[in-house]
Amino acid sequence: MKTIRIAAMGAAALLAFAASAQTLYKLIDKDGKVTYSEKPPKDFDGKVVPLDIDPNRNTATLPKPPAKVERTEETGPGKAGRKGPPPKRVEGEKGVDSEDRVREAKERVESTRKALEDAQNNPGPDDVLRVGKVGGGTRPVFSEPYAQRLNRLEAQVKEAEENLKRAEENR
């Protein structure tokens, strides 16, 4: 029983080793055209260059995302330097913290406009598709996810502008 386990572990180790190293063949024909193949070619007139590939070397380590900071009265925008407890609000009293609300609303409008402008001016390679003939006459068409993202950003800008308007009215 023990020898079967050892044999099974040895076979698994050999399979893992075989899977870790792969060979790819670079084929260069007489005209200089380069192609790649996973199997060695038969009756090929050009040059064959075997390439040993280690799939474990082609990995990337992604950075950890920054810790999410919860917003409170003390850590909200423009409140980093304030000492002591937040000012008390009196029910129905206008002007209490209204300047802070207006300033936060303006910052929100500015950031959403910037995000929309950035998305409009810098579409990704998959965001704009070319439709038409390859030789000419193609036209750009937005992909569905990109169009949805632009619509969502436009709605966020509109909402931020409405919030700013309400904050200014309640001063």
102 and 39, same structural domain?
Answer: no
Please tell me the predicted confidence (pLDDT) of residue 32.
87
Q: Is residue 15 domain-resident?
A: yes
The one-digit pLDDT tens for each residue of the chain (171 residues) are 566 655 555 555 555 545 556 788 888 888 888 888 888 888 888 888 888 877 667 666 777 777 765 555 544 444 444 455 555 554 444 544 778 888 898 999 999 999 989 888 888 888 888 777 766 677 778 888 888 999 999 999 999 999 999 888 887
Domain hosting residue 102, numbered range: 98-131+138-169
Residue 41 lies in a domain: yes
In a domain, 23, yes or no: yes
Instruction: Please check whether residues 103 and 165 belong to one and the same domain.
Output: yes
- pTM for the predicted model, two decimal places: 0.42
> Residues 102, 163: one domain?
yes
Structurally, the chain folds into a number of domains equal to: 2
Q: Which of 18, 37, 53 is the last residue of a domain?
A: 53
Residues 164 and 111 in one domain: yes
Examine the domain organization and report whether 165 and 104 are in the same domain. Answer: yes
Same domain as 164, residue 104: yes
Is 10 a domain residue? yes
Shared-domain flag, residues 104 and 163: yes
In a domain? residue 59:
no
Cβ pair 50, 23 in contact under 8 A: yes
Q: Is residue 46 part of a domain?
A: yes
- Give the per-residue pLDDT at 111: 92
Query: Do 103 and 158 reside in the same domain of the chain?
Result: yes
> Is residue 78 included in any domain, yes or no?
no
> Does residue 153 fall inside a structural domain?
yes
Cβ atoms of 149 and 115 within 8 Å: the answer is no
